[in-house]
Every structure is written in structure tokens, then in C-alpha cells.
Copies of this chain bind each other. A is one copy, B any other.
Amino acid sequence: MPHPLDLSLYLVTNSEQCHAAGRSVAETVALAVEGGVTVVQVREKDASARDFLATVASVAEVLPAHIPLLVNDRVDVYLAARAAGHPVAGVHIGQSELPAPLVRQLIGADAVLGISAATPESLAEAQASGVVDYVGMGPLNTTTTKRNAPPAIGLPSLAALRRLTHLPAVAIGGVGMADMQPLRAAGFDGAAVVSAICKASDPRAAAAALKACWQSHT
């Protein structure tokens, strides 16, 4: 990991939700960062690589330099964005995507590499690989954002999973305001949100409220 990542409020973008709320992905991100988002992952499940790259470029343009921009799953889109001169920090790789050691070879030692791990086995594999900077765990709650999402794990099991690794970890999956304190209490380094920000009428205020909940933990 190039620098300590502040994973506390981790935004995963959803273009349908942003557009339905009357904003572009980049506009949503810009507001959310003003509200306190600390990491942005651009995720596009249905877009062509060309459109995905365009969205990454548009987000890169509005993002302050200290906020890491991660690309979901498509390592080639990340590499293309980097080759085109956009300040992208790394990738987040799902469980059925390319194996972490190969991804690390492709992106190099300095890029951020996050992976999804929802079972003790995948977590052990991620940790043993020695190439992963953080893990995403979920889904915490039932989510409608991601099609074919696995069933919700729930907080007690997710907390048990979190205790199995020393890697930085963020929870994901239907995460809302009420989850922030319990997640922090469970030892998570951050919470990843999608609809709580992308669907919000005011993404800046939504991010600020989520951040305040996170920080209110003592």
C-alpha cells in the first residue's frame, strides 16, 4: 500500500442511481467528497469498457488529489486510465475476478489492491497472497444495488469474519446510517456505501451525516 488508506467512508458509485437522482457520477462524487467521503470506487457492471473509462476519467477530474480513486474489477480499464494520464490509485477486485497475485503483477507494487472476501477461505487466501491492501466484506444487509448479490451475512457473522484477518477491512452491502457505529465497534476500518449516497437527494449532506455517525463512536 503506497500510503495509509483512510477507508472510513468508502463510496462505491452506481451510475443508474446517480442518474435517477438527476446527477452524473462525477457530480455525485464531487458532492460526496465535500461531505467527507475518503475513498471512491467507480463500479460499472453493465457499461462497455469505453464508457467505463470515460466515467473513471470524469471522476478523476473532480476528485481532490488526496482521495484515492479505485476501479472495480476491470484491471484493463484501470491500466488504460493510468496510461491516459488519469490519477487512478488502484483496483478493487471481486471474488470471481482475476486472482490477486496476477492482478498485483499487472498493476505493480505501488497501486492499491482491494479484494472482496465473504468467507473464511477467501479471506485466508487473500491474506496468504501477501499482495492485498484491504478487503471488502459483505453483504452486511440485503441489498438491491447488486444483482445476484449473495444473501446478507448480518453483523454478528461479519464481525466474526473481520476478526479473522489483520488486513484493513471495510463492510459493504446495504450499509446505512444506523450501521456505522456497530461496524466501527466491530473493528472495521470503514464502511462502503452505495445507495445511501448515490440515491440521496443531497449527497454532500448524506456523506456528512454518515461520517458524523462513524466519528461519533467512542
Please report A residues at the B interface, Cβ cutoff 8 Å: 48-51, 53, 73-77, 79-80, 83-84, 94, 96-99, 102-103, 105-106
Task: Please name all residues of chain B whose beta carbon is closer than 8 Å to the beta carbon of A77 when the two chains form the complex.
Answer: 98
Q: Are B75 and A98 in contact (CB under 8 A)?
A: no
Q: A76 is contacted by which of B53, B94, B98 (Cβ under 8 Å)?
A: B98
Q: Given A48-B97, A49-B96, A96-B48, A102–B84 Cβ distance below 8 Å? A: yes
Task: Please name all residues of chain B whose beta carbon is closer than 8 Å to the beta carbon of A83 when the two chains form the complex.
Answer: 102, 105-106
How far, in Å, is A189 (CB) from chain B's closest CB?
A: 26
How far, in Å, is A70 (CB) from chain B's closest CB?
A: 15
How far, in Å, is A95 (CB) from chain B's closest CB?
A: 8
Q: Are A73 and B49 in contact (CB under 8 A)?
A: yes
Task: Choose among A48, A75, A98 the residue with the greatest number of B CB atoms under 10 Å from its CB.
Answer: A98
How far, in Å, is A132 (CB) from chain B's closest CB?
A: 16
CB-nearest residue of chain B relative to A48? B96
A98–B80 Cα distance when bound, in Å, is 8
CB-nearest residue of chain B relative to A94? B48
A131–B108 Cα distance when bound, in Å, is 25
A105–B84 Cα distance when bound, in Å, is 10
A8–B80 Cα distance when bound, in Å, is 31
Q: Are A103 and B75 in contact (CB under 8 A)?
A: no
Q: A49 is contacted by which of B53, B97, B105 (Cβ under 8 Å)?
A: B97
Task: Please name all residues of chain B whose beta carbon is closer than 8 Å to the beta carbon of A105 when the two chains form the complex.
Answer: 80, 83
